[in-house]
């Protein structure tokens, strides 16, 4: 790596421990080099999306838009939706009635927020749909990936708190609550009324059965099937998921 760095002119290096002296390089010692690297990219290289509502988007007259909101091509935003300042709604996103989106939140293309949840009750041998009259509330500084589905609540709302990051191809069922700063990674399925605590990490292809509670700062490993509550500050893996050890 040092040989590669020596071959580059006009170089800035962020490192936890400063490497040996490099010609033509500015070396910045950092306690959190990855975090500082992200900040540099965001400040100097991030692309600013176009602002405004695309002419092909369908936006109901009762929608409340904040300042500098972006709504992409062919998006559908239904009655009573609220979208906070500087939020970005991607192409072909559908926001069903009364969804609330906070500030600086981004929803990537082809996601559907606020469709009715999957709730039925049998009348004899005939399944009868249970109406879902709640909504979806998404906080500020949230990122929702592409092809994500978040169902609205049956009576209460489905809630995604501030700073949550949801990857592509995730399903979040009715009445779930995702705590502040939690991560839900690609392909995960979060069933009805699941409670995920702050800064928890839900790995790819995880399945969480209904009514489960995942504690704050817990980590659920790739492909786990969660059938019992997971305490805070632990790592759980497997099918069925079991606690492996404490999370550092």
Catalytic residues: 174
Burial 155-170 (b: 16+ CB within 10 A, else e): eebbbbbbbbbbbbbb
What tokens appear for 239 in the block? Answer: 């099918």
Closest CA to 222 of 236, 242, 243: 236
Question: CA-to-CA distance for 102 and 64, rounded, in angstroms?
Answer: 12
Residues 215 and 202 sit within 8 Å (Cβ to Cβ): no
Question: CA-to-CA distance for 101 and 82, rounded, in angstroms?
Answer: 6
Any idea what DSSP says for residue 117?
Answer: P
Sheet containing 242-246: give its strands across. 52-53, 70-71, 88-89, 106-107, 143-144, 165-166, 183-184, 201-202, 219-220, 234-237, 242-246
Burial 120-139 (b: 16+ CB within 10 A, else e): eeeeeeeeeeeebebbbbbb
Give the HSE-up count for residue 56: Cα atoms under 13 Å, Cβ half-sphere: 8
Task: State the pairing for strand pair 76-77/58-59.
Answer: parallel
Closest CA to 104 of 74, 150, 69: 69
């Amino acid at each position: 790596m040092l040989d590669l760095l020596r071959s580059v002119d006009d170089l800035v290096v962020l490192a936890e421990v400063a490497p040996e002296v490099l010609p033509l390089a500015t070396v910045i010692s950092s306690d959190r080099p990855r975090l500082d690297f992200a900040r540099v990219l965001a400040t100097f290289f991030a692309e600013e999306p176009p602002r405004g509502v695309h002419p092909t988007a369908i936006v109901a007259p009762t929608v409340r838009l904040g300042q500098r909101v972006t709504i992409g091509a062919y998006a559908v935003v239904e009655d009573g939706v609220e979208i906070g300042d500087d939020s970005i709604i991607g192409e072909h996103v559908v926001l069903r009635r009364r969804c609330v989106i906070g500030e600086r939140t981004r929803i990537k293309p082809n996601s559907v927020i606020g469709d009715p949840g999957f709730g039925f009750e049998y009348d004899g041998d005939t399944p009868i749909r249970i109406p879902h009259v709640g909504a979806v509330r998404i906080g500020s500084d949230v990122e929702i990936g592409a092809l994500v589905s978040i169902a609205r609540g049956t009576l209460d709302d489905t809630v995604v708190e501030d700073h949550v990051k949801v990857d592509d191809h995730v399903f979040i069922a009715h009445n779930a609550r995702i705590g502040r700063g939690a991560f839900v990674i690609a392909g995960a399925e979060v069933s009805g009324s699941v409670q995920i605590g702050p800064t928890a990490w839900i790995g790819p292809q995880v399945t969480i059965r209904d009514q489960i509670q995942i504690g704050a700062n817990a980590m659920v490993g790739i492909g786990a099937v969660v059938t019992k509550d997971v305490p805070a500050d632990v790592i759980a893996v497997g099918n069925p998921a079991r606690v492996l050890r404490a999370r550092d």
